């Protein structure tokens, strides 16, 4: 099969590219910032690279050219920063998804795999894991979540059309991580000049005792995508590894002592730090983390035969190790965080929360 992957140099996209190639498929990788020459000159003739900016005026034309003759498109491209430029993120996320859908339809691509997220779901803090029929209204105070929900509405409208093509699968994973994105995580979530090694020196973890989160390994998510592509599967698929992580799990991984801090107090502190430009993470991410429901992966297990290789605790440990070690790759999106680069960019381009090419 010939598969086009948007966002092919990012966390999920790069893993999807690798696993599609390992499964014997041909891949066209698209990214806004081209990978280094050694990637472009790969010896694997089944991998071709191209550039595509999903905010550019000619995006549909460029995408249509890249999609010609493809058996499937896997759309993973999405923006997380600059969180203080919500209009740009909407143009990239919602407008980019609209462009991918239009170009796939124009090029006659039969199958589209769209990366949605647990963040597309409406709030739900009940103890029972939810299936894919849970409402996808998003978290109202976070652009990322609102845009994921808007993309879901766009796909709903597409699927309501008789004889619609491409057929669509929606992947809705929990938080997704692996060791090799540690440097990128640091760059997006830590204050610019704060050494990542401080993570391993944290004496206490101030967090609400009721906090819980699901975490899944990037490679396990990518493997599900390969199966979806090969089976031309459609519809939504939740993907989440067990167990559901608690405050105590996170504290143990950090070697820190858990201390109860009510969620509202933590949210107020995060919002104050955000307003003061001390940290780059929109407090809406805390709203989403607190409000999203626990996911059931029953459909993926039964229909795709999906069983994650990595449990959530090992993914957490691996991800924290990657942050401390500044793990990364040589692609622009996943490059390791360097304090010298952070300082230079802070002085010349401003904080990452305002920077379009971080």
Decide if pLDDT at 190 tops 70.
no
State residue 41's pLDDT score: 53
State residue 325's pLDDT score: 83
Decide if pLDDT at 192 tops 50.
no
Q: pLDDT band at 249, cuts 50/70/90?
A: very high
| Mean pLDDT across 279-307 | 93
Token representation of residue 100: 């991918």
State residue 40's pLDDT score: 56
What structural domains does the chain harbor? 2-176+217-239 (3.40.50.720), 179-213+244-293+310-354 (no CATH)
Decide if pLDDT at 21 tops 90.
yes
Q: pLDDT band at 202, cuts 50/70/90?
A: confident
Angle at 328 (CA atoms; ends 79, 243), nearest 5 degrees = 75
Which residues are 4's β-sheet partners?
28, 73
State residue 79's pLDDT score: 87
Round the average pLDDT of the chain to a whole number and report it: 88
State residue 351's pLDDT score: 53
Give the position of tokens 């034309």.
61
Give the position of tokens 């597309």.
120
Decide if pLDDT at 282 tops 90.
no
pLDDT per residue as tens digits for the range 300-349: 999 999 999 999 999 999 999 888 887 777 777 776 656 555 555 545 55
Decide if pLDDT at 356 tops 60.
no
| Mean pLDDT across 143-167 | 95
| Mean pLDDT across 141-148 | 93
Contact assessment for residue 46 and residue 25, using Cβ atoms and an 8 Å cutoff: yes
DSSP 54-97: TTSTTHHHHHHHHHTT-SEEEE-------TT-HHHHHIIIIIHH
Residue (of 258, 245, 248, 249) closest to 202 by Cα position: 258
* Main-chain phi, psi angles of 166, to 5 degrees: -75, 160
Give the position of tokens 């990542």.
196
Q: What is the pTM of this model?
A: 0.90
CA–CA separation, 204 vs 294, rounded Å?
Answer: 26
Top pLDDT among 103 and 202 is at 103
pLDDT per residue as tens digits for the range 39-83: 555 557 889 999 999 999 999 999 999 999 999 999 999 987 777
Q: Which contiguous run of DSSP H or E holds residue 329? A: none
State residue 115's pLDDT score: 97
CA–CA separation, 220 vs 232, rounded Å?
Answer: 18
Q: Strands 26-31 and 2-6: what pairing?
A: parallel
Which residues are 6's β-sheet partners?
30, 75
CA–CA separation, 170 vs 148, rounded Å?
Answer: 11
């Amino acid at each position: 099969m010939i598969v086009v992957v948007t966002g092919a140099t990012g966390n999920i996209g790069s893993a999807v590219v690798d696993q599609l190639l390992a499964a014997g498929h041909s891949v066209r990788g698209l990214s806004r910032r081209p990978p280094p020459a050694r990637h472009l000159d790969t010896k694997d003739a089944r991998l071709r690279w191209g550039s595509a900016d999903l905010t550019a005026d000619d995006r549909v034309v460029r995408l249509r050219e890249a999609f010609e003759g493809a058996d499937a498109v896997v759309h993973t491209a999405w923006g997380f920063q600059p969180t203080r430029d919500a209009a740009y993120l909407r143009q990239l996320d919602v407008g980019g998804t609209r462009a991918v859908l239009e170009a796939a339809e124009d090029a006659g691509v039969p199958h589209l795999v769209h990366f949605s997220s647990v963040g597309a779901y409406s709030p739900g803090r009940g103890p029972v894991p939810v299936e894919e029929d849970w409402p996808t209204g998003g978290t109202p105070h976070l652009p990322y979540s609102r845009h994921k929900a808007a993309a879901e509405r766009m796909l709903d409208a597409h699927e309501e059309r008789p004889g619609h093509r491409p057929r669509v699968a929606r992947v809705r994973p929990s938080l997704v991580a692996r060791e090799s994105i540690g440097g990128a995580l640091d760059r997006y979530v830590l204050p610019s000049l704060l050494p990542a090694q401080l993570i391993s020196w944290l004496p206490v973890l101030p967090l609400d005792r009721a906090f819980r989160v699901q975490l899944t390994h990037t490679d396990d998510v990518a493997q599900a995508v390969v199966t979806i592509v090969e089976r031309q599967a459609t519809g939504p698929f939740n993907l989440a590894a067990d167990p559901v992580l608690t405050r105590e799990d996170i504290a143990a991984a950090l070697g820190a002592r858990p201390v109860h801090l009510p969620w509202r107090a933590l949210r107020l502190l995060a919002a104050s730090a955000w307003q003061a430009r001390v940290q780059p993470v929109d407090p809406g991410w805390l709203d989403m983390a607190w409000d999203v429901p626990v996911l059931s992966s029953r459909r993926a297990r039964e229909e795709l035969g999906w069983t994650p290789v990595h449990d959530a605790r090992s993914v957490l440990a691996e991800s924290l190790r990657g942050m401390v070690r500044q793990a990364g790759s040589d692609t622009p999106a996943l490059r390791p965080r360097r304090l010298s680069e952070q300082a230079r960019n802070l002085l010349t381009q401003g904080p990452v929360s305002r920077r379009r090419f971080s």
